[in-house]
Every structure is written in C-alpha cells, then in structure tokens.
Structure 1
C-alpha cells in the first residue's frame, strides 16, 4: 500500500485546513457580553471625578437606550427569520451562509450587553443625585455600535436573497478550500506548491481498523493535527477512509491504523461529527450547493434555465483550476518528515458528477443550459491535464447528442461559433 504524495509539511502554513474551525458558541458570547455590561454598569456610576450630570437625566437616557436598542433588534431579527426561510425555499434548504454567519449571534450578544449595562447602571445609580457623564456617554456609544451592526446585518440579509451574491459567495468559499486542498503543481494559483520530493515510501501493514461507535453523524471536520500527534506517539500511520462530508453510521470503518497501535478513541476524538456540512474542510460542498440551486431552478415548478446557466458559470470557475491541479488523496507528515496521516479527498470524477452530471441530466429540455454546458466542457478541456480529458470528452459527446436530437438549431449555432 503506497502513500499518496505529500501535501502538508512542517514548512507550510495550512492551519486553516488541518485544524478544525471551532466557532465560539453563541451562548458563551452572550454570557461574556452580559458580564461586561454588568461590570461596566457597576463601575461607571461610582466615578466621582470629572463632569457630573443629574442622575434623573442619566436614568432617563439609560431607559431610552436599553428599550430602544432592544426594540430595534427584535424587529430586525423577526424580519431576518423570514429572509432565512425565503432563501432556503428559493435556493436550497442546505444553504446556511447567512444563518451561520457569526455576525448574527455577535449582534445579539451586543444587544444583550447593552440591555444588561442599562439595567445595571440604573440600579447602581440608585439614590445618587449626580452621576458621571461616562455613564450616558458609554450607553450612547454602545447603542450607536449596536445600530451600526444592525444596519450591516440588514444589508447582509438583503444580499443573501440575491442570486448573484449567493453564487459568488459559494464560488469564493469553494475556491478557498480547493486551493488549500489541491494546490497547483507549478504554483500557478498563487498558493502553495506541491513539493517534488519523489514517490512517497510504502505504508506499513494494517494493524487495526477503527469503526464508528456513535450515533449516525456527518463528518463535518477532522482534527488532522491531533491525528498526526497520536500517530507520532505510536510510530504509526493513520489512514482516514471517510472524506469530509460523508455520513457515518454505527459500525462503519472510519480509519485504518498501519504499523503501530493507536487506541480507537484517540482516532474517533479527532473526527468532528455534526448534522450539517461546513465549508472549512469540505471541497465538495460548494459543488453540491451550486447543483442544488441549479436543479431547483430547472424543476417544472420553477422552470428558470437562466439561473442554471449562472450556476454553470460558477461551476466552471471551480473546475478550471481543478482540471490541472494535483488531485487524489494526500498525506500529512509529522515533525520528522515521515508520513503519519493519509487523508481521503474527492477525485476529478467526483467533482464532475456532483457539479456537472446531476445538473445536465435535468437540463435535457433546456437548450440554453446544454449550450452553456457544452461551452464549459470545451473551455475546461483546454486547460485540463491529458488524463482528465477523456472524462470531459465523454460528457461532451453526451451533450452534443442531446442537442442534436432535441435542439439541433442550438447545436449548429454552437458549432459555428
């Protein structure tokens, strides 16, 4: 069993890929914001020096600020729920770009902090005749900050219902993970270059197989750094058999351990199971979502082939660099340079099947989509490696056959260009 070429080494910065991205929980952020508001609400009214104002006027300002910010935030969040529902119904129920945006729960935490500060400062002032001007000034600054963030969130929500913005964001996020996972051999993408270190050494014999012992879950991320450290301690190689984005059922094989003894629980702790896919380590998610949007547009209920054409524009943007990139599984070396972890990644055929085949099979009665698909195949073929062109030629022949039988005029127009 031979290890695939190395992709990540100790000399390259790939933390965004090999380390799972763990977003700070919304509840923790809200607790921190509430604690800061509570502390400020207790300390600022105790300031004796500086400019002082009547306590009654300060209390009135705090009431207006607290209730005003809370009312505006409540109204905006109510509207945003409708935006999320509309985007899911018109694009894809798996689309979570806006719903998982950190700006949403950070704004809510800020509103909680403003409310806690206003209430705490009001109680801390108590029977004081005067209070420091820092109290109303802080309240106004916090309120202004919250309103600015509300406006930013509102504008972002409006963008999330625009097709061009959604497709561009999917393309950009997909391109980011693809560049990290599949760097070009000549560095033509401006990112890391796959090292030309010759063939990798063969892997040791398989000593054990790690199976999934939990409930059904989706592999959202894998902590590759943790796996490398575990494998180094045991002088072993861990071959992860399931790519990110795969659904695991109890008893499924997760990984194979070669040449050493690694406890199963150490391997399983590195696998982050969730109920939804995330972009961080999933190179196929952008293709899946783009295909979802295109398939929904081609459904008889909607019948919007122009949207499918725009989807193919984004798909081509992702396929062109992949057509000449180093694909296949990758290995991650340890500190000594020896291979410690092998990661399974989607291959060329997988991307074509997800991002192209499903969409084109549904576009038999949409000549403008088939014409755009034909143009996509020809353009990608121009930059593709020689060994990947047969897959493109096979699909090109199918598209030409569909056009010649169903829409001969479109085929003649396309060939005359």
Structure 2
C-alpha cells in the first residue's frame, strides 16, 4: 500500500509540474527580457562579440579575395596602422566620457525627481547602442591592427573601410545621444514615459499578456472556516513581487483546491511569511510549495512588468519632491496631478480582475490583496493632497482633477453601478472633501480658500 501511495503521489507531482511548466517558462522569459532591457552590459557585450567576429571574417575575405583592390579606396599598411590606432584610442576615451555623462544624468534624475525613475535611463536603447558601438569600434580596430601585414603592398581594404564606417556611425550616435540625454532630463518627458508605460498595462485590464491570463469565472468566495485546517506556503526570499502567474499558482494544486494568495504584484515579501494558503493540504506539500514559489518572481526593486500601482508611485514621487522645501516647484506638481488624472481616468473605467474565481477543474483562487479602484484612488492622491494643502496653485488643479474623475465615473459606467463602482465614487468624493479640509487647516488666506471651495463646488 505504501509503494502504491508513493507511486500515486509521484505521478500526481509529475502531472502538476507538467501543467505548471509552460506558465513558468513564460514568466521567466518575461523576467529575463525585462532584466536584459535594463542592462547596460548585455547589448554592448553582444555588439562587442559580433564586432570581433566580423573583424576576423573580413580579414579572411581581404586575404583571399581582395588581392587587387585598385577599384576601391586603399591605404598603405603604415597609414592604416596609424589610422586604426588613432580610432581605437579615441573610441575608448569617448566611451569613458559617455559613461561619465550617464552617471551624471542618473545622479541628477535621482536627486531632482526620484530614484525610481532611473529605470527609464537604464532602459534607454539609444544609450546602450552607443556604448556598444564605441566598444565594438575599439575592439574591431584592435583586432584589425593585429592582422595588418606591414610588408604588404596595401592594407586590407574591407577591414579599414568598415573601421571608418564604424567611426562615422559612432560620431553620429554621440551627437544623437547628447541631444537625447539633454531632452530626457526634462521632467515632462520623464512623466510622459511613466504615464505611457502605465497606460499600456491599463489597456490590458482585466486580463492581458502582461497583467495576466484569465484563470476562471467569478464566483462567490467560499466559507473558509468550514474548509478545515489549511496548508500555508511561505515566502522563501525577501524582496518586491515583480511578477506572478496566477495560472501557475492554480495549476500547482490538485483539482478542487481553494487557494488564497496572500500577496500581490508590487507588494514587499518577507521570507517566512505567508505566500499562499490552501484548503485542503495537497498530497505532496513540498512539490506544491516549490512550484508556487517559482510562480512568484521576487526582486530588489519594483518594475512595470505587471505593476500599475508602481506607475502612480513614480508620478507621486516626482510631485512630492517638487512640493518639498528643497525644490519648491509647484508647476511640476501641477503637471504631475494632470498626468495622474490622465492615467486614473481609463484605470477607473476599466474592470479589475475578479478577486474570487473558479477554474474548470474546480479550483478557487482568492486574491484579496489585489488593489481595487478605491485603493488606487487612495494611492494616487493621499500623499499629494496632504503636501499640496499650503499651495493654492496646486490644490485647485487637484480639486478639478478629482471632480473630473468623479464626473467621469458617474457618466462612464454602463448599466447599474456595482458595489466596487460605488466605492470608487465615494473614494473620489472623500478625497475631494479631505483636500478642501486640508486647505482650510493650512491657514490659507480667505480669498485663496474661496477659490478652492468654488472649484470644488462648481
């Protein structure tokens, strides 16, 4: 009986791993692509290796086929050696200058706006291509120098010609990068990028390739107290939840299981705390716990892979820094509020994934930690309205934005208002009341307070 039970458990574990595997592959591939997109090393290294290979390949072609280069531009070996050496030295020096410019840009962006906006500079493909082009040109010239025969009648024409072409492309790339990096420091472009990334995720609600695939149909949450003793799967690492696959979490459990996900994308996980609670315990708890842990990608920082709330966090950080006494830039704070309004409107009109769903196998997934519309409203405006209270020029656009969102919710919902929609409207109205109350408590002049109240009740 024991051998038969172990064999059954083994077959069941293999089936679970087979079912979970495709979801985990997609999750890991997305995480890998995101890391590569933010890496200043990956693309330059690929270009560097390709340039070395190309240098050897062109050298072979020059030796075999370019024995009579009378119809192409040619150089003597001595001139080619001098030219390639000069280019190699100039490229490696310029690469150092570009790295210095990048570090200065990161410092300025981190100090003036927020450390969380640095990811946009890391992901800048133009900067990565420039660094790769400079390193590739340097490596190509160094390898070419080693293959030039100073006793020959002429230098290898294709090799020298490509070196000149790479140099010209590097110069053009430097000019483009200098223009781009100066524009990237403008706060409006930073906010535009953050808002654009957030809009992409919002456009996929309630389900999409980034947000997550639909698990099942909405159902009423079961009575957990009647399900008996659960199994608690704990987190194995500290960090921010960057991605999670609900399909993989559900597929890691036998049919008929009830699961409650105790975290969400964008939340911080502490090792040893609850990750998933399930009823009843599975036949092989160790395998299930391992598969569930693999379905949650934890990292040192939040990302925009699935995290809509992180877009709001970045915009808030810029606005709060602008309202600080050290910066004192109300105009930027106003622009932040307008950007948040443009992000929140489609978010509040979109449907959020249901927090209780059942798949065709009878598994029920509960996600009570997921943010609803009312919580998004709080995350978008709680801090801003508090620090904007003494600034009349900032409070008035904030009040108008809240009224715009509330009016849009009342008129934009189709059919009867669901409890979630009602809570959303109530949350917006409450934010409006608190904003006006904060302005009153800030001791503004009666004329300024009258303008704020007029904007709130217009």
1:222 maps to which of 218, 237, 244: 244
Q: Alpha-carbon deviation of 1:305?
A: 1.8
The residue aligned with 2:340 is 315
**2:101 is the counterpart of 1:76:** no
Aligned-pair Cα RMSD in Å: 3.4
1:390 maps to which of 412, 416, 426: 426
Q: 1:255 to 1:199 in 2, by over 3 A?
A: closer
The residue aligned with 2:135 is 112
The residue aligned with 1:212 is 235
Q: Alpha-carbon deviation of 1:120?
A: 0.8
- For the 8 Å contact 1:305–1:368, the answer to whether it is kept is yes
**2:440 is the counterpart of 1:411:** no
Q: Alpha-carbon deviation of 1:75?
A: 1.4
Query: Distance in 1 between the 2:311 and 2:351 partners?
Result: 19
Q: Alpha-carbon deviation of 1:319?
A: 1.2
Q: Alpha-carbon deviation of 1:34?
A: 2.8
1:247 maps to which of 268, 277, 286: 268
- For the 8 Å contact 1:243–1:345, the answer to whether it is kept is yes
The residue aligned with 2:35 is 23
More divergent stretch after superposition (54-63 vs 172-181):
54-63
**2:198 is the counterpart of 1:174:** yes
- For the 8 Å contact 2:219–2:357, the answer to whether it is kept is no
**2:185 is the counterpart of 1:161:** yes
- SS of the equivalent of 1:251 reads coil
Query: Distance in 1 between the 2:196 and 2:28 partners?
Result: 16
* Structure 1 length-normalised TM: 0.81
Q: 1:56 to 1:40 in 2, by over 3 A?
A: farther
Query: Distance in 1 between the 2:272 and 2:198 partners?
Result: 31
**Higher helix proportion, which one?**
2
- For the 8 Å contact 1:38–1:116, the answer to whether it is kept is yes
- For the 8 Å contact 1:66–1:118, the answer to whether it is kept is yes
Query: Distance in 2 between the 1:105 and 1:410 partners?
Result: 49
Query: Distance in 1 between the 2:196 and 2:324 partners?
Result: 26
The residue aligned with 1:121 is 144
User: What residue ranges of structure 1 are gaps of 5+ in the alignment?
Assistant: 1-14, 185-190
Query: Distance in 1 between the 2:173 and 2:366 partners?
Result: 43
Q: Deviations over 1:250-282 (max 9, x none)?
A: 211112345645532222223222211111111
Following superposition of structure 1 onto structure 2, how do residues 17-416 of structure 1 map, counting pairs within 5 Å?
A: 19-20=30-31, 21-24=33-36, 26-47=40-61, 48-50=64-66, 52=69, 53=74, 54-103=76-125, 104-127=127-150, 129=152, 130-182=154-206, 199-200=218-219, 207-214=230-237, 216-224=238-246, 226-227=248-249, 230-231=252-253, 239-258=260-279, 260=282, 261=285, 262-327=287-352, 329=354, 344-384=369-409, 385-403=421-439, 406=444, 407-411=448-452, 413-414=454-455
Q: Alpha-carbon deviation of 1:207?
A: 4.7
* Structure 2 length-normalised TM: 0.75
Aligned length in residues: 392
Task: Tell which has more relative contact order, 1 or 2 (C-alpha 8 A, sep 6+).
Answer: 1
- SS of the equivalent of 2:203 reads helix
Query: Distance in 1 between the 2:42 and 2:187 partners?
Result: 33
- For the 8 Å contact 2:218–2:358, the answer to whether it is kept is no
Query: Distance in 1 between the 2:167 and 2:113 partners?
Result: 35
Q: 1:31 to 1:88 in 2, by over 3 A?
A: closer
More divergent stretch after superposition (254-263 vs 267-276):
254-263
Q: Alpha-carbon deviation of 1:379?
A: 0.5
Query: Larger Rg: 1 or 2?
Result: 2
Q: 1:81 to 1:31 in 2, by over 3 A?
A: closer
Q: 1:26 to 1:91 in 2, by over 3 A?
A: closer
Q: Alpha-carbon deviation of 1:231?
A: 4.5
Query: Distance in 2 between the 1:114 and 1:219 partners?
Result: 40
- For the 8 Å contact 2:219–2:356, the answer to whether it is kept is no
Query: Distance in 2 between the 1:36 and 1:235 partners?
Result: 53
- For the 8 Å contact 2:357–2:365, the answer to whether it is kept is yes
Q: 1:224 to 1:116 in 2, by over 3 A?
A: farther
- SS of the equivalent of 1:220 reads strand
